[in-house]
Amino acid sequence: MGDKMTGMNTFLDFEKPIAELEGKIKELHHLSDSDHLNIVDEVTRLQSKVERLLKQTYAELTPWQKTQVARHPERPHSSDYINGLIEDFIPLAGDRCFGEDRAIISGIGRFQGYSVIVIGHEKGADTSDRVTHNFGMARPEGYRKAVRLMSLADRFGLPVITFIDTPGAYPGVGAEERGQAEAIARSTEACLNLRAPLISVIIGEGGSGGAIALASANHVIMLENAIYSVISPEGCASILWRNTDKAIDAAESLRLTAQDLYKLQVIDEIVQEPVGGAHRAPTDMIKHLGETLEPSLRTLVNTSGGELRAHRRQKFLDIGASSKS
Partner 1 sequence: MSWLTNFVRPKIQALVNRAQIGDALWVKCASCEQMIFHRDLAERQKICPHCNYHMPIKPAERFAVLFDEGAYQTIELPVADIDPLKFRDRKRYSDRLKEAQKKTDQDDAMVVVHGTIGGYRTVVCALDFNFMAGSMGVAVGDGFLSAARLAVLQRAPLIVFTASGGARMQEGVLSLMQMPRTIVALDEVRQAGLPYIVILTHPTTGGVTASFAMLGDITLAEPDALIGFAGPRVIEDTIRESLPDGFQKSEYLFEHGMIDIVVSRTEIRDRLVNLLGLLLDRQPTAEIANMNAGNIDIPEVLVADSDSSGESEPLNR
Which residues contact partner 1 (rule: CB under 8 A)?
169-173, 175-182, 184-186, 188-189, 191-193, 208-209, 211-213, 216, 228-231, 236, 239-241, 246, 249-250, 253-256, 261, 264, 266, 313, 316-317, 319-325
- Closest separation between CB of residue 42 and partner 1, Å? 47
CA pair distance 89, 108, nearest whole angstrom: 6
Note the Cα 195 to chain centre separation in Å: 24
**Which conformational region is residue 69 in: left (phi greater than 0), alpha (psi within -120 to 50 degrees), or beta?**
alpha
Angle 291-296-300 from CA coordinates, rounded to 5°: 145
Smallest gap from residue 265 Cβ to partner 1 (A): 10
In angstroms, what is the minimal distance from the CB of 209 to partner 1? 4
Rounded to a whole number of angstroms, the minimum distance from the CB of residue 192 to partner 1 is 6
Whole-number minimum distance, CB 89 to partner 1, in Å? Answer: 28
Least Cα distance to 146 among 184, 89, 199 occurs for 184
Q: Could you write out the DSSP letters of every residue in 47-85?
A: HHHHHHHHHHHHHT--HHHHHHHHT-TTS--HHHHHHHH
Three-state SS for 10? coil
Indicate the residue among 131 and 181 with the shorter CB distance to partner 1.
Answer: 181
**Residues 82, 76: contact at Cβ < 8 Å?**
no
Nearer to partner 1, 40 or 240 (CB): 240
DSSP 314: H
**Closest distance between partner 1 and the C-beta of residue 221, in Å?**
15
Rank residues 85 and 160 by Cβ distance to partner 1 and give the closer one. Answer: 160
- Burial (Cβ within 10 Å: 0-12, 13-18, ≥19) of residue 50: buried
Provide the minimum distance between the beta carbon of 250 and partner 1 in the complex, in angstroms, as a whole number: 7
Q: Which is nearer to partner 1, 26 or 313 (CB)?
A: 313
Strand-pair partners of 116? 109
H or E element in which residue 174 lies: helix 173-177
Measured from the CB atom, the residue of 51 and 234 that comes closer to partner 1 is 234
- Whichever of 23 and 174 has its CB closer to partner 1, that residue is 174
Please identify, using beta-carbon distances, which residue of 148 and 178 lies nearer to partner 1. 178
Sheet strands (E) in 208-268: 219-223, 227-229
CA–CA separation, 254 vs 242, rounded Å? 16
Whole-number minimum distance, CB 203 to partner 1, in Å? 17
Nearer to partner 1, 162 or 180 (CB): 180
